[in-house]
């Protein structure tokens, strides 16, 4: 790593001096992809660590930038989850290294100058610069400690100097050998691959032979490809028999049209099962332009398949999804739609997909309205949203309870992105940014986020937004800069508030709105006169409005 780091510094210096402006350094995302796909575990931890040094708020830097243009599109959800969890862990780690200046046991000397200098070094290196949150690089920080020891060496005795140097080198060894595989969840990839058994080899051989023959069959379809496709479709329909089952509630006896939809679990079986819905043409035509056009086409009795004496139309849509669509046609607000139900976005995505297909605007409007009602649209609604969350925490305690109403942001982001519902995106991303991604810490309340639903762009937006907010947390302290009164107690209290130091958690899992909300609630307990309290309250409310208004920009929406 020391050799690699020296080359990197030399490369950045050459770029800054325009010696080699178009030269490039290692690009980590493509290295991760090829290592994952082709079982090359030895480069994974260094590649993930290098990726964590890329600014997520500027993922496509210019050629002149020392940063590397990351190929985020090459990473899958599991890789991106490893990256974002690992980067958060590295951010926490940046606060942990002042213990290298703690010397105990036989190595501790009694010289006052050494004790004083070590205390100063602890205080100096406890402060985390915003760049430490944008580019969390604990190895670089420890390397800087070793470099600074040369400057501060004369102030420390030889024993203390050696002890601090030994602590720093030991920390670097621990990080590179043990901690990096842990924080990026690479333990399974770093283990040695087991040899292939004979049975596995036979399976691979027969699979290869099958694909070769399948490829030859596909390549042989040149001019007659349409004929082959029609033959395959016909043979499939002949070899697959379909059993029709009436729906328990949506088989209405006075309906004048029957629709069948296959059950997804049995689609690939030779004997499939399809649910049969008997409904009314006028209901379908009223809600759907597509159904209105299809059902208006005249058909003769001989050419139309019937079921129970009425025309039968076979659909390819999933039976459960189509059932949800029909229910919402007949009952616009079904009773099973609960407010802030964590599973509702998944249900909404399925319904919106089929509603968009058949242009059922009434159903789309009802689903979108329900989704938007689950998330605050302005700051006043956010206050109520926050109060509801606190109430549920108070009632249920620090337990995971999946049954109570609690928004699940990842699935909400997916359905909003896929079906053009931009109004809920800023607060959904903000809520997801509050999730502690380290599974080693005690779990928070509510359902676990559906990380598998997010794509590369979603992860980049999330990481960029968290990074943007972490860097800006210190700017929140400006709410305590007011035209204060002449009372000494107000001056002392405001000075103390301005000197507030954020905790590791507040910087690594930033929640500016939540922090300001907490200060606002505790403002009456501060030793301030009514005029100063009013000025601070006004500043907090104004800052919260600015934070809310800028959420779309923070997450690049």
pLDDT per residue as tens, the chain (557 positions): 777 767 766 665 555 444 433 445 678 889 999 999 999 888 898 899 888 888 766 544 433 344 456 788 888 888 888 888 888 888 888 777 767 777 766 566 777 778 787 777 777 666 667 677 778 888 888 887 777 776 655 577 878 888 888 888 888 888 888 888 888 888 776 654 444 344 443 344 334 433 434 444 434 443 333 333 333 333 334 445 678 899 989 999 999 999 999 987 544 455 688 999 999 999 999 999 999 988 887 766 665 788 988 999 999 899 999 999 999 898 876 656 677 888 889 999 999 999 999 999 999 999 999 999 999 999 999 998 888 877 776 766 544 444 345 788 999 999 999 999 999 999 999 999 988 876 555 445 556 788 889 988 899 899 889 988 988 888 999 999 888 788 888 888 999 998 888 888 888 889 999 999 999 989 988 888 989 999 999 999 999 999 999 999 999 99
| Same domain, yes or no: 439 and 480 | no
- Pair (404, 474) in one structural domain: no
- Is 215 part of any domain? no
Q: How far apart are CA 121 and CA 145, in angstroms?
A: 10
Residues 32 and 172 in one domain: yes
Residue 230 has what pLDDT? 33
Residue 216 placed within a domain:
no
- 207 beta partners: none
The answer on 40 and 160 residing in a single domain is yes
Does residue 524 share a domain with residue 435?
A: no
144 and 250: one domain? no
Q: Please report whether residue 516 resides in a domain.
A: yes
319, 368: one domain:
no
Q: How many residues does the chain have?
A: 557
| Residue 486 lies inside a defined structural domain of this protein | yes
Residues 367, 505, single domain; the answer is no
Last residue of a domain, one of 156, 187, 218: 187
Rg of the chain's alpha carbons, rounded to an integer?
A: 31
Same domain? For 107 and 6 the reply is yes
| Assigned domain for 124 exists | yes
Using CA atoms, how far apart are residues 408 and 341, in angstroms rounded to an integer? 8
Q: Buried (b) or exposed (e) across 188-206, using 16+ Cβ within 10 A? A: ebeeeeeeeeeeeeeeeee
- Regarding whether 161 and 296 lie in a shared domain, the answer is no
- DSSP-derived 3-state class of residue 275: strand
In a shared domain, residues 11 and 134: yes
Q: 88: closest CA among 510, 471, 508?
A: 508
Domain presence at residue 530: yes
Residue with tokens 């985390």: 128
Looking up residue 299, the CATH number of its domain turns out to be 3.30.710
Domain count of the chain? Answer: 4
Q: Where are the alpha helices (DSSP H) in 135-191?
A: 138-152, 158-174, 180-183, 187-190
**115 and 174 share one domain:** yes
Task: Output the CA–CA distances (angstroms, integers) from residue 61 to 67, 201, 443, 508, in the order listed.
Answer: 6, 45, 36, 24
**Could you tell me if residue 551 is inside a domain?**
yes
| Distance (Å) of CA 65 to CA 13, 23, 139, 241 | 11, 11, 22, 62
Q: Which domain holds residue 294?
A: 241-331
C-beta separation of 183 from 86 below 8 A: yes
3-state secondary structure of 76: coil
296 domain residue, yes or no: yes
């Amino acid at each position: 790593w020391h050799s690699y780091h020296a080359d990197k510094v030399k490369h950045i210096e050459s770029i800054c001096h325009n010696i080699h402006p178009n030269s490039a350094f290692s690009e980590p995302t493509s290295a991760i992809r090829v290592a994952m796909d082709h079982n090359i575990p030895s480069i994974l931890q260094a590649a993930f660590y290098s990726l964590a040094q890329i600014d997520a708020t500027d993922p496509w830097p210019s050629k002149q930038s020392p940063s590397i243009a990351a190929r985020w599109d090459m990473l899958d959800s599991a890789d991106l989850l490893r990256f974002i969890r690992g980067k958060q862990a590295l951010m926490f780690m940046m606060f942990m290294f002042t213990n290298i200046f703690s010397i105990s046991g036989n190595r501790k000397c009694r010289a006052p100058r050494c004790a004083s200098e070590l205390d100063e070094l602890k205080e100096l290196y406890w402060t985390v610069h915003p760049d430490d949150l944008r580019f969390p690089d604990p190895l670089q920080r420890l390397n800087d400690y070793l470099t600074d020891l040369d400057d501060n060496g004369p102030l420390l005795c030889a024993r203390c100097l050696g002890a601090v140097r030994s602590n720093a080198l030991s920390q670097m060894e621990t990080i590179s050998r043990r901690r990096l595989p842990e924080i990026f969840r690479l333990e399974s990839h770093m283990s040695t691959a087991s040899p292939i058994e004979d049975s596995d080899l036979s399976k691979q051989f027969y699979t290869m032979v099958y694909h070769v023959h399948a490829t030859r069959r596909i390549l042989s379809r040149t001019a007659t490809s349409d004929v082959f496709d029609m033959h395959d479709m016909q043979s499939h329909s002949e070899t697959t028999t379909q059993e029709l089952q009436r729906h328990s509630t949506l088989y209405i006896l006075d309906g004048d049209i029957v629709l069948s939809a296959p059950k997804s679990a049995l689609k690939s079986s030779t004997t499939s099962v399809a649910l049969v819905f008997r409904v009314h043409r006028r209901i379908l035509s009223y809600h759907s332009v597509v159904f209105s056009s299809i059902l208006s086409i005249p058909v003769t009795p001989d050419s139309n398949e019937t079921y129970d004496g009425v025309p039968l139309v076979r659909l390819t849509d999933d039976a459960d999804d189509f059932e949800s669509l029909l229910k919402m046609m007949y009952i616009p607000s079904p009773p099973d739609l609960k407010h802030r139900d964590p599973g509702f976005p998944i249900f909404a995505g399925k319904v919106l997909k089929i509603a968009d297909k058949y242009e059922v605007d009434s159903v789309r409007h009802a689903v979108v309205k329900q989704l938007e009602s689950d998330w605050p649209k302005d700051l006043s609604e956010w206050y109520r949203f926050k109060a509801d969350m606190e109430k549920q925490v108070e009632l249920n305690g620090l337990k995971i309870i999946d049954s109570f109403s609690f928004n699940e942001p990842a699935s909400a982001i997916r359905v909003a992105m896929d079906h053009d519902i931009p109004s809920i995106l800023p607060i959904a991303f903000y809520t997801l940014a509050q999730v502690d991604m380290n599974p080693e810490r005690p779990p928070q309340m509510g359902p676990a986020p559906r990380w598998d639903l997010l794509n590369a762009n979603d992860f980049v937006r999330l990481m960029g937004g968290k990074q943007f907010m972490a860097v800006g947390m210190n700017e929140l302290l400006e709410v305590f800069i007011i035209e204060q009164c002449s009372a000494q107690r107000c001056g002392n209290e405001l000075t103390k508030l301005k000197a507030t130091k954020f905790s590791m958690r507040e910087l690594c899992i930033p929640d500016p709105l939540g922090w300001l909300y907490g200060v606002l609630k505790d403002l009456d307990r501060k030793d301030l006169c009514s005029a100063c309290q009013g000025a601070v309250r006004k500043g907090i409310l104004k800052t919260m409005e600015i934070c809310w208004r800028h959420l779309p920009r923070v997450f690049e929406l």
